[in-house]
Amino acid sequence: MNGPAILLRVAERFGSRILETHDRLGDQTAVVDRAALIELLTYCRDELGLKFDMLMDLTAVDYLKYPGREDGPRFEVVYHLYSLPHNHRLRVKVALEEDDPVVPTVVDLWPIANWFEREVWDMFGIRFEGHPDLRRLLMYEEFQGHPLRKDYPVSKRQPLIGPKN
Partner 1 sequence: MQREGLTQVVGKSLGSFFTSKLDEAIGWGRKYSIFQYPFVTACCGMEYMAAACSHYDIDRFGAGLPRFSPRQADVLFVVGTISHKMAPVLKRVYDQMCEPKWVVAFGVCTCTGGFYDNYATVMGIDTLIPVDVYIPGCPPRPESVIDGLMKLQEKIATSTQRY
- Helix residue spans in 15-155 (DSSP H): 37-46, 113-124
Give least dist CB 152 to partner 1, A.
7
Q: Which stretch binds partner 1 (CB under 8 A): 28-36, 76-84, 107-115, 156-164?
A: 156-164
Q: How far is CA 63 from the centre of its chain?
A: 13
Give least dist CB 115 to partner 1, A.
16
Give least dist CB 141 to partner 1, A.
10
Give least dist CB 90 to partner 1, A.
32
Exactly one of 38, 61, 137, 139 binds partner 1 (CB under 8 A); that residue is 139
Dihedral of the alpha carbons of 141, 34, 23, 65, in degrees to the nearest 10: -50
User: Does residue 15 interact with partner 1 by CB under 8 A?
Assistant: no
Strand 127-129 with 102-104, pairing: parallel
Contacts of 89 (CB under 8 A, 6+ apart): 3, 27, 28, 56, 80, 81, 82, 83
In the window 46-105, what residues touch partner 1 (CB under 8 A)? none
Interface residue list for partner 1 (CB under 8 A) = 138-140, 147, 152, 154-163
